[in-house]
A and B are shown apart, each in its own frame.
Chain A
Amino acid sequence: MRAILFAAALLGLGAAGFVRAVDDAHLSVEHIAGDGWTAHDIAIDWDLPDRASATIGKLRLNAIAQELHDVRIVCPRLELSVRAIACERARVAADLPGLGAQTFTARLVYGRGDGSLNWRVEADRQRASVEALVAAAKQLRLPVPAVDVTGSVILSGAAAGAAGKVHSATFDVEVAEITLSNAAGSIATDKLNARVQGTVRKSRGDWQFDIDVSSAQGQVYVQPIFLDFGAHAMRASAAGKLRAARELTLERFSFDHSQVAQGNGRAGFDFANEQPLRSLTLQLAGIEFPGAYESYLQPLLLDTNFKSMQTAGKLAGAATIEDGAPRSLDLTLEDLSLDDGARNFAIESLTGAVHWRSDAAAGDDVASALSWRGGAIFGLAMGATELHFTSEGRQFRLLQPARIPLLDGALALESFRVRNAGLPSVAFMVDATLEPIDVKRVCQAFGWPEFGGRVGGTLSKLRMRDGVVTLGSTLRAQVFDGDLSLSDLQLQQPFGKWPRLYSNVAFDNLDLELMTGAFSFGRITGKLSGRIDGLRLFNWTPVAFDARLYTPPDDRSRHRISQRAVQNVGSIGGGGAGVTAALSSGFLRFFDDFNYERLGISCRLENDVCAMDGIAPAPNGGYYLVKGKGLPRIDVIGSSHRVDWPRLLERVIAATKGQGPVVQ
């Protein structure tokens, strides 16, 4: 509605016509309306020449949902001109929705020509509760998130606008003891104290802002990030503009999370887009561990196997995003150490520079180099190494051969490529040689019974799919003067809490004398061959296999077995007491060892039960474990066909600990 300048005309008449005739005037106006506002029941008291006060019975501002009642305006000095009626320092008292009775100083300008009502209000350490502000914000039809919140606010600043709309504001807000939470609990604060300073200004439909926030007290949780500003203070600032409530441009931003991370850059958001972060230029400096890991990385890694790492060191870097897609990442690592605490994965003093590009632009140097001083993988100690590589898009390529010391051997990487990283179709292409490693140390690492020898071989056709690593080539080991091969190696959830390994193992012509010596099992001479099919380890412990070990048919070596070995073999076959009794009585006790023709055992392990057999069936349903030869002839015959595996292991371990078998 077009403004009807009834009151203004009267006032103007008053100013022109009643010069000095009266000292004061009273006016009652039923209704005035202007651009975005209407007022009813207005009473004006005018102390001539320039002091005036007005009471507005009902004031409706289009921007405020609820109408205001009994707004009192006292003006110590009214300025009248042809174009406007203005008051520089008016005291305005109003019962604001949500905030209750409020008094503030304002500059008011009423346009006589167009009925516009321009204002500027100031607040000086105005106190309010957050609950009241939220209610007020709802009245102002501002988008208020659905949160439960308590706390208090001290507001200083100034705002200017027309009718019910704000055009610009300068503010310095101290919030205290802010505790809020949304219904899902994904956003929350606890006793947060912060200071927010800044300016906002509207220009041609855009909101320009420059805001600075600092906090040194309270906690914030924005799932999955938890920050305790009491422990590490935060200061952040940003300047930019918001266009059409959906395009946000941060022309500059910076943050300083004390002893955790510092960064600055530019960013652009488009909230209408599925991926709102459209562009980013970020410089990161002084990222310190473990603070940065605990604050920012750990929460993002909760679903991975890197969720409980001990970290130390420093990181700096830069990242860019263009058109909503990551373009580049440059990281400089300085003495970064990671340790999962279980020795499954640990790396010590990781140093170097990593450069990743979404695609290699011409002339862009994207070679990366990383070195580390030591570490561990699957419990195997790893030595110092330097890696030179490129990473581009979803590809990774080793630029030059690298040698990673592993225990007393090494993994020599000729080439290493990764394709489709991060996709289900991820593929590794590895060409590597495992330089012989002391088997004893591998056994130590996995907590197995220790024995000597060396393991080595070529690693090729290493693949990973759906978290399962498979090795297409065969690993070979030289143990006890014989050959051992591991084929069809498959590793599931390698870095998980429950790694599972599958393999088929074959061995050929192991020297039993070396082997029994290593296990202090009692001396046996001769050779041993066999296979372990379907070997399954769960958490590095055997849970299933089908094993057959036997004297190779073409073995021409000397076959002798000692008294103690006979007892131990007997105890494995379940005939411990009988064997011991037989050996310790009669003339057999005068012999240290005996000749044998052949020996062997088979054990199919499933559900903790070993289905056991020997080299041939023996009378009375037993089986031959050792078939004797010559005189005195001794046969060891097993009787149990189903042996409890944990008890069997105990017996074998007891036997190899140098004591005799447990006789019950």
Chain B
Amino acid sequence: MLRHASKLIACCLALSACVTINVYFPAAAAEKAADKIIDGIVGGAAPAEPTKREDDDKQQGAARADSGPQRVLLAAAASVLDFIVPPALAQGQANLNVDTPQIRALTQSMEARFAQMKKYFDSGAIGLARDGLVQVRDQNLVPLPERNVVRKLIAEDNADRSNLYKEMAAGNGHPEWEADIRTTFAERWAARAASSGWYYQDASGAWTKK
């Protein structure tokens, strides 16, 4: 009887492990998606530096799991389940879909606004924050009558950005990915800022410019 129970527990563990693996955030796919969206918004500017984490997709099964013996166990569970339920796992590794009406509407809105914001990025008055939003960096670079215009543009753009992260997570069936998507965008915007001579916040929150 006890042996049966322990088998059941093991099965449950394996199943819960399966769930965990299944919802791994596809980091590399998200980076590609973010770059594509940023390209669209910035409008055919020079592409950002190539992503260095191309092998991420292959690694992510293990990479994001806990280290130590548990990691081996999870990997083993994953491979067993791979055998039993390959379609489900395949779905877990799917690319991020960025072509939903919501995302299109949001990126079009951001693209239209970017034309007005570009000069402030160029001057260094505003920069790309590490939370995936836009922030005022040095208001003194903006003529007085334009200061509230800039604040308004930032408020609107940040509303679009937050909606975009939310819709990308929800549109791919994983609302819990919102924070990861936001982080990915923050990183890719920073890379874009670096190649465009704009300011961005480094990991400590300090403004940097390449």
Provide the residues of chain B in CB contact with A219, threshold 8 Å: 144-145
In the assembled complex, how far is the CB of residue B131 from the closest CB belonging to chain A, in whole angstroms?
16
Closest residue to A539 on the B side, CB-wise?
B105
Contact assessment for B101 and A543 in the assembled complex, using a CB-CB cutoff below 8 Å? yes
Q: Which of B97, B141, B159 contacts A607 (CB 8 A)?
A: B97
What's the Cα separation between A20 and B155 when bound, in Å? 85
* Per-position 1/0 for B142-171, Cβ under 8 A of A: 111101100110011001100100010001
Q: Which of B112-155 contact A (CB under 8 A)?
A: 136, 138-145, 147-148, 151-152, 155
B171, A185: Cβ atoms closer than 8 Å:
no
| Contact present for A303 and B155 (CB under 8 Å) | yes
Which chain B positions have C-beta within 8 A of A538? Answer: 101-102, 105, 167
Residues B147 and A226 in contact, CB atoms below 8 Å apart: yes
Considering the chains assembled together, what is the distance between the CA atoms of A541 and B104 in angstroms? Answer: 12
Q: Does A302 touch B at the CB level, under 8 Å?
A: yes
B41 at the interface (CB under 8 A from A): no
Pairwise interchain contact A607-B147, C-beta atoms closer than 8 A? no
| B20 beta carbon closer than 8 Å to chain A | no
Chain B residues lying within 8 Å of A224, measured Cβ to Cβ, are: 148, 151
Question: Which residues between 78 and 130 of chain B lie within 8 Å of chain A, taking CB atoms?
Answer: 97, 99-102, 105-106, 109
Q: In whole Å, how far is B23's beta carbon from the nearest beta carbon of chain A?
A: 18
CB atoms of A223 and B147 under 8 A apart: yes
Q: Inside 8 A of A308's CB, which chain B residues have their CB?
A: 152
Q: Does A271 contact B (CB under 8 A)?
A: no
Bound complex: CA of A220 vs CA of B159, how far in Å?
Answer: 28
A228 pairs with B102, CB closer than 8 A: no
Are A302 and B152 in contact, CB atoms less than 8 angstroms apart? yes
Instruction: Give CA–CA (A538, B102) in the complex, Å.
Output: 7
CB < 8 Å neighbour of A185 from B106, B142, B155 = B142
Q: Which A-chain residue is minimally distant from B155 (CB atoms)?
A: A302
State the Cβ distance, A622 to closest chain B Cβ, in Å. Answer: 25
Q: Is the CB of A2 closer than 8 A to any CB of chain B?
A: no
- In the bound assembly, the distance between CA atoms of A307 and B109 in angstroms comes to 17
* Residue of A220, A302, A496 with highest tally of chain B CB at under 10 A: A302
Count of A interface residues, CB-CB < 8 Å: 30
CB interface residues, A 177-232, toward B, < 8 Å: 181, 183-186, 188-190, 219-221, 223-224, 226, 228
| B100, A302: Cβ atoms closer than 8 Å | no
Shortest Cβ gap from B140 to chain A (Å): 4
Distance from B157 Cβ to chain A, minimum over Cβ atoms (Å): 11
- What 1/0 flags go to A477-500 for Cβ under 8 Å of B? 000000000000000000011100
Residues of A within 8 A of B163 (CB): 498
Nearest Cβ in chain A — how far from B189, in angstroms?
20
Chain A: CB-nearest residue to B102: A538
Q: Are the CB atoms of A184 and B139 closer together than 8 Å?
A: yes
Assuming A302-B152, A303-B155, A538-B101, is B144 touching A498 (CB within 8 A)? no
In the bound complex, CA of A186 to CA of B142 (Å): 11
Collect the chain A residues with CB atoms within 8 Å of residue B171's CB.
607
Contact present for B145 and A228 (CB under 8 Å): yes
Distance A303 CA – B106 CA, assembled complex (angstroms): 18
A-side contacts of B139, CB under 8 Å: 184-186, 188, 223
The complex places the Cα of A607 from the Cα of B97 at a distance, in Å, of 8
Name B167's closest neighbour in chain A (CB-CB).
A538
A181: B residues at CB distance < 8 A: 140
A608 contacts the other chain (Cβ, under 8 Å)?
Answer: yes
Q: Which of A581-614 contact B (CB under 8 A)?
A: 607-608
Decide: A497 near B155, CB < 8 A? Known: A185-B138, A302-B148, A538-B105. Answer: no
A330 to B157, CA, bound (A): 36
Q: Using Cβ atoms and an 8 Å threshold, which residues of chain A touch B159?
A: 496-498
CB < 8 Å neighbour of A497 from B99, B140, B148, B160: B160
A93-133 CB mask vs B (1 if < 8 Å, else 0) is 00000000000000000000000000000000000000000
Question: Which residues of the partner chain A approach B143 to less than 8 Å between Cβ atoms?
Answer: 190
Q: Which residues of A contact B148 (CB under 8 A)?
A: 224, 226, 298-299, 302
For A186, the chain B residues whose CB sits under 8 A away are 139
What residues of A have a CB within 8 angstroms of the CB of B138 in the complex? 185
In chain A, positions 133-174 with a C-beta closer than 8 Å to chain B are none
A497 to B106, CA, bound (A): 10
How far apart sit A260 and B106, CA to CA, in the bound complex (Å)?
37
- Chain B residues with Cβ below 8 Å from A189 are 144
Which chain B positions have C-beta within 8 A of A539?
102, 105
**Shortest Cβ distance from B146 into A: residue:** A226
Q: How many Å from the CB of B155 to the closest CB on chain A?
A: 5
Q: Is B106 in contact with A307, judged by CB distance below 8 angstroms?
A: no
Contact B144 A608 (CB under 8 A): no
Complex Cα distance, B103 from A608, in Å, reads 12
B42 → A minimal CB distance (Å): 21
Nearest CB of chain A from residue B202's CB, rounded to whole Å:
20
Q: Decide: B106 and A498 in contact? CB cutoff 8 A.
A: yes
Contact for A221 among B102, B105, B147, CB less than 8 A: B147
Chain B min CB distance to A293 (Å): 12
Q: How far is the CA of A415 from the CA of B145 in the complex (A)?
A: 45
Mask of B16-59 contacts with A, CB within 8 angstroms, 1/0? 00000000000000000000000000000000000000000000
Query: B140, A608: Cβ atoms under 8 Å?
Result: no
A496 to B106 CA separation, bound complex (whole angstroms)? 13
Q: Please determine whether B156 and A497 come into contact, CB atoms closer than 8 angstroms.
A: yes
Considering the complex, give the chain A residue whose CB is closest to the CB of B158: A303
Judge whether B101 and A608 touch: CB under 8 Å.
yes
In Å, the complex CA distance between A190 and B143 comes to 9
- How far, in whole Å, are A224 and B144 apart by their CA atoms in the complex? 11
Q: List the B side residues contacting A188 at CB < 8 Å.
A: 139-140, 144
Chain A positions near chain B (C-beta within 8 angstroms): 181, 183-186, 188-190, 219-221, 223-224, 226, 228, 298-299, 302-303, 307-308, 496-498, 538-539, 541, 543, 607-608
With A226-B148, A608-B101 given, can you name 18 additional A-B contacts, CB distance below 8 Å? A185-B138, A185-B140, A185-B147, A188-B140, A188-B144, A190-B143, A190-B144, A220-B144, A298-B148, A299-B148, A302-B148, A307-B155, A497-B109, A497-B159, A498-B159, A539-B102, A541-B105, A607-B97
List the 7 closest pairs (A to B, CB-CB), nearest first: A185-B139, A185-B140, A221-B144, A538-B102, A219-B144, A302-B155, A190-B144
23 residue pairs from A and B, CB less than 8 Å apart: A183-B140, A185-B136, A185-B140, A186-B139, A189-B144, A190-B143, A190-B144, A220-B144, A221-B144, A221-B147, A223-B147, A226-B145, A299-B151, A302-B148, A307-B152, A497-B160, A498-B102, A498-B105, A498-B106, A498-B159, A498-B163, A607-B97, A608-B100
